[in-house]
Amino acid sequence: MSDLQNAFKLSLPLVAGYIMLGMAFGILFNQNGFNALWAAGAAVFIYGGTMQFIAVSLLSAHEGYFAIFVVSLVVGFRQIFYTIAYFKAFQSEFRFKKRMYMFFALADEVFALLSINKTLSPNAKFYFSLLSHSYWILGCGLGALIGGHVNFDFKGIEFVLSAVFVVIILEQVRQSKSALMSSIGILSAILALVIFGSSNFLLPAIFIIVFTLFVFKAMRIKGVA
Amino acid sequence: MNHIDSIYAFISLFIIMLGTLATRVLPALIFSLFKIPNLLFWLSTRITPCIIGMLLVYCFKDIDLSIAPHGAYEILGVFSVVAVYFMFIKFKSNGLIAIFLGSTIYMMAIYFKIFN
């Protein structure tokens, strides 16, 4: 199979997920007075479901510029860890411009899907990122075009993206023959969710994960250290 | 632009773009200039599966277990994905099949309101 075919196959779960979720954003954005060009622009340059949905509420609340900047940093904080995780690989696989795009385009699902497909060629990885980004842009633009005119009901379609993570965890556990690392992530996140509540638990969750990994390393626990 | 002033909106979206670049591209630039500390490199080889576990929890963060249907749809959905994944384990595309069949089951369950 060619690089593009491989990339397309890997991106299949995101076709439905990104287009539908993007459309949900586009419709919401349109209801706040923005046309398809604005929605597609947000998708191109911000490219993040969480941030774009939050942006709609920030804008309609007429939030100040500094507060908006801080929110965007907090929401994007986890990306630093995505960069750390793929830095070595991308460094050897991509020239500067493509590499910077690869880091920019590391959305949650892209990050996760790349992690279980280590045999993919650099070119295929690049196509995969580009395709996923395109689905998102397409979804956001379409949603804003449709706006409130068409009443379509795809309730529950966002579950596709949850299913992606479930399958990736299963693959990861099978490949490494250990559920330890996935469990650390799941349990840390649940702990942070219980303590800090659903609107800002990602940051504490990451810190609990990092702390746990360091403790396990110090204790020389097999599979971590 | 009826509801929100377009200049304000443009500046705000531009600022969000800067914030996004600061978290996605700036770290990569910094790591290109300075050597990654050993401990950070060690972390980078371990953290990916943990973060994916975290993202799974993130997907379900808004489910309130204390009120009906107590997350029953999501439990059914996740269970379906896992079950289909192992049912088709001999196929190369079992992951893809699990994602689509599992999601279909979830959406059907919601559509027919089986837990309400």
pLDDT tens digits along A12-50: 989 988 998 899 899 889 988 899 999 999 999 999 988
* Residue B17 pLDDT class (50, 70, 90 cuts): very high
Q: Does A29 touch chain B (CB under 8 A)?
A: no
Share of chain B above pLDDT 70, in %: 97
Q: Does A195 touch chain B (CB under 8 A)?
A: no
Average of per-residue pLDDT values in chain A: 91
Which residue do the tokens 């196959």 mark?
A9
Mean pLDDT calculated for residue range A177-192: 95
C-alpha pair distances (Å), A168 with each of A55, B50, B99: 29, 12, 10
Looking at per-residue pLDDT, the higher value among B36 and B81 belongs to B81
**CA-to-CA distance for A22 and A132, rounded, in angstroms?**
11
What pLDDT, in 10s, does the model give residues A49-98? Answer: 889 988 988 898 888 999 999 989 988 888 998 999 999 899 999 999 99
Alpha helices in B1-116 (DSSP H): 6-24, 26-33, 38-44, 47-59, 72-87, 94-111
Contact A160, A13 (CB under 8 A): yes
B65 secondary structure, DSSP code: T
Alpha helices in A61-95 (DSSP H): 65-76, 79-93
What pLDDT is attached to residue A118? 78
Looking at per-residue pLDDT, the higher value among A213 and A224 belongs to A213
Structure-block tokens of residue B6:
């377009």
In chain A, residues 132-151 whose CB comes closer than 8 Å to chain B: none
Helices (H) and strands (E) in chain B, counts: 6, 0
Global pTM value = 0.86
What pLDDT is attached to residue A149? 74
In chain A, residues 56-115 whose CB comes closer than 8 Å to chain B: 58-60, 62-63, 65, 68-69, 71-73, 75-85, 87-88, 90-91, 99-100, 103-104, 106, 108, 111-112, 115
What pLDDT is attached to residue A35? 92
Contact A130, A105 (CB under 8 A): yes
Say if residue B1's pLDDT is above 50: no
ipTM: 0.90
Residues sharing a CB contact under 8 Å with residue A132, sequence separation 6 or more, in sequence order = A11, A14, A18, A105, A107, A109, A110
**CA-to-CA distance for A134 and A18, rounded, in angstroms?**
9
